Amino acid sequence: MRTFWVCVKSDFRQQIRQRQTLFWMMIFPLVLIIGLGTMLSAVFSSEVDLPEVDVAYIASGDIRFDQPLEQFLADDRIASFLSVRPYGSERLARAAIDAQKADVILFGGEEIRLLHERSTSIEVQVLKVLLDRYVQAANTQLLLLERNLPQAGPVDLIDRKSFDLTSKTPSSIEYFTVTISAMTALFGGMYVTAMFAADQAMRGSYLRVQAAPISLVRYRLAGTISRFSVVLLQLVVIFTVSHFIYRSFDLGRIRLDLLLLALAGLALYGISFGFLMSSLPFRNPNIAGFIVNGMTTVLLLLSGGYVPGLDRFVLSRFPFAHDLLMPLFMREGVLQILFDGDLTIYRDSMLLLTLHVAVFALLSAILFRWKGGFRHVPVKTRPHAHGA
C-alpha cells in the first residue's frame, strides 16, 4: 500500500508541474468562464430576445394567499422573463397548454403547485426555485404570526445573492456554468486517457515500472486516482469561480455529495469515451486522437457548448438527442443540484450517464479483444519440456 501512495503522490506532483496541464485544466476554463461567460451574459441580457415562460395562472380565490403571490410575480425582475396570464379554470389553462399558449400552469392558494410537461428549460427551473423560496418565506412568516412572534422585517423573496437578475437573465449563466463543467470534465477525461496512452509498454520510464516488483494494475490505479484528483480539483475551482463571479447559485443550497458524484461520473465518462476511441483499429495514434478531438467538438457544438441556443434547435429537430448528447442530459441533472431542484431529473441524468459509460466500456472490451489485446496476458512456460 505504501508503494501505491508513493505512485499517486509522484504522479500528482508531475501533473501539477506540467505547464500544459495547468493551462488546459485550470487557466483555459477560467478564461472561458470569465471572458466568454461575461461576453455571453452581455449578449443574452441586451441583444437576444429570450423566450419567456408563459405561465397560466389560476388564482385560488382566497385573497390572503393570492395577493402576496401576485405581488411577487409582478416584480420587475421576475416579470422580465415570465409572462403571467390568469385563467379561470384548470380546463382553460390546459387548453392554453395544448394550444402552446402557455408553458406551465401555476396554481395559487395555500398550496402552490406548478404543472409542466417536462422541465427542459432553465427558466422553468428558476421559476420552480423562486416559488419554493416564496413558499418557504411565506411559511416562515405564517409561523411567526401564529406564535405571535415579531416579524423579521421585510423578506426579500428573491435571493439577491443567488439570483441577482438585474444585469443577467437567469438562463445564460447557469447554462454556461454547467456546460463549461461538462466540457472540462470531458476534456479532463481526454487528458487522463492521453496520459495512459503515453505509458507505452517496454519504453521510457514505464519500462522501469514494468520491471519493478509492483502490480501494473496498482500503478494504473494510482495514476487514475492522481489524475482524477486533478480533474476534480479543476471542476471544484470552476464551480467556485463561477459562483463568485456570477453569483448564479447559492453554494449553501448545493448537495455537495451529489455534485461530487456527478463530477466523478463526468470524468469517468471522458475516460471511457477516450478508451473507446483509443480501442478503434487505427494503427496511427494521431488518427484516434484526431477523432477523439473531433467527436468532442461535435458533441459540444450540438449541445450548445460553443453556440448557446444550438441545443434548442437540435432538440426541436431530433428529440432523441436529449438521451444521446451527454452535455444536454448532464446539464439538466447538475442544474437540479445547483438549484436545489428535482432529484428525479438528477437521477435520470446519472442513469443515462452510467448507461453511456457501460456501453463505451463494453464496446472498448469488444474492440480490445478483437485487436488481440488480451492475448499477451497469460504467461506460458513449459518447465518440464527439457528435463528441468
Partner 1 sequence: MKQENGNIIELSHLTKRFGETKALDDFSLSVREGELFGLLGPNGAGKTTAIFAMLGLYPIDEGEMRLFGRRMPEDAAYIKARVGIVPQQISVYEDLTVRENIAFFGQLYGLSKEEARHQADAALAFVQLSEQEKKFPRQLSGGMMRRLNIACGIVHRPKLIFMDEPTVAIDPQSRNTILENIRQLNRDGATIIYTSHYMEEVELLCHRVAIMDTGRVIAEGTPDELKELVTTVESLRIHAPRIGQATIGQIGALSFVQNVRVEGEEICADIQKGASVMPVLELLQEDHVAFTTVSLERPTLNSVFLTLTGKALRE
Whichever of 34 and 209 has its CB closer to partner 1, that residue is: 209
Instruction: Please identify, among the stretches 51-59, 75-83, 195-203, 286-294, the one whose residues bind partner 1 according to the rule CB under 8 A.
Output: 195-203
Say whether residue 17 binds partner 1 (CB under 8 A). yes
- The string of DSSP letters for 25-81 reads IIIHHHHIIIIIHHHHHHHHHHT--PPPEEEEEE--S-HHHHHHHHHHHHSHHHHTT
**Measured in whole angstroms, how far is the alpha carbon of residue 287 from the centre of its chain?**
29
Whichever of 46 and 205 has its CB closer to partner 1, that residue is: 205
Say whether residue 376 binds partner 1 (CB under 8 A). yes
Q: How far is the CB of 229 from partner 1 (least distance, A)?
A: 16
Phi and psi at residue 106, to the nearest 5°:
-115, 120
Residues 198-237 that bind partner 1 (CB under 8 A): 201-205, 207-214
Task: Output the nine-digit C-alpha cell for 181.
Answer: 463543467
Task: Output the nine-digit C-alpha cell for 150.
Answer: 415579531
Whichever of 99 and 388 has its CB closer to partner 1, that residue is: 388
Say whether residue 3 binds partner 1 (CB under 8 A). yes
Say whether residue 379 binds partner 1 (CB under 8 A). yes
148: left (phi over 0), alpha (psi -120 to 50) or beta: left
In which element (H, E) is residue 105 found?
Answer: strand 104-107
Among 10, 167, 344, 354, binds partner 1 (CB under 8 A): 10
Whichever of 33 and 222 has its CB closer to partner 1, that residue is: 222
- Alpha-carbon distance of 109 to 116, in angstroms, equals 18
Contacts of 301 (CB under 8 A, 6+ apart): 307, 310
Say whether residue 383 binds partner 1 (CB under 8 A). yes
Q: How many residues bind partner 1 (CB under 8 A)?
A: 32
Q: How far is the CB of 203 from partner 1 (least distance, A)?
A: 7
What are the residues binding partner 1 (CB under 8 A)?
2-3, 6-7, 10, 13-14, 17-18, 201-205, 207-214, 376, 378-383, 385-386, 388
